[in-house]
Amino acid sequence: MSVAELVRQPGRDHLPYLTPYPHGRGQTWEVVSLVQTQSVPKKKGRLVGLGHRTRSVPLSAPPPFFDPEVLTAQLKDKDDRISLLETQMAAQQAGYEAQRRLNQQMMEMMYPNEVFPVFPDVPDP
């Protein structure tokens, strides 16, 4: 179904009517594109909202300066937080292992004649 037929459907009277140009089928889409670009707001000579990202600085500008001491301090802070999390995770894992052994012992005490499978520890990836 062509665009013109879609526009002519009932209930779409408020839409503009597209007349195909006699010079070829693609020119109707050129008109639609032209109408679209004219209706899009412009900001500093560029179209806004059509996927182009505007920059406040030119591409030829040098990159911003970052103080190496600040970056080093931030990396050290992140390393400290990572090592703290690793320590907490190791303590948590040790707690899980102790609880698993306690549960195994309790099951053996409650059911002395049963043989329970011992699941090997799952290695960390």
> 3-class DSSP state for residue 73?
helix
In the structure, what pLDDT confidence band is assigned to residue 65 with cuts at 50, 70 and 90?
confident
Using one digit for the tens of pLDDT, what is the confidence trace for 37-60? 665 555 555 555 555 455 677 777
Of 15-19, 30-34, 35-39, 93-97, which gets the smallest average pLDDT? Answer: 15-19
Q: What pLDDT score was predicted for residue 44?
A: 56
For 32-40, what is the mean pLDDT? 62
- 58 located within any domain: no
Q: How many domains does the chain have?
A: 2
**Domain range holding 91?**
66-118
- 102 located within any domain: yes
Q: What pLDDT score was predicted for residue 25?
A: 55
Phi first, then psi, for residue 106 (nearest 5°) are -65, -40
- 59 located within any domain: no
Question: Largest alpha-carbon pair distance within the chain?
Answer: 93
Do residue 72 and residue 111 come from a single domain?
yes
- 103 located within any domain: yes
Please state the separation of Cα 57 from the chain's center in Å: 26
List of residues 6+ apart from 8 with CB closer than 8 A: 17
Residue 16 near residue 7 (C-beta atoms within 8 A): yes
The Cα angle at residue 93 between residues 107 and 106, in degrees rounded to 5 = 10
Do residue 71 and residue 39 come from a single domain?
no
Q: Cα-atom radius of gyration of the chain, to the nearest Å?
A: 34
Do residue 40 and residue 71 come from a single domain?
no
Q: What is the residue type of 120?
A: P
- 55 located within any domain: no
List of residues 6+ apart from 116 with CB closer than 8 A: 104, 107, 108
Do residue 70 and residue 114 come from a single domain?
yes
Do residue 34 and residue 74 come from a single domain?
no
Residue with tokens 């007349």: 19
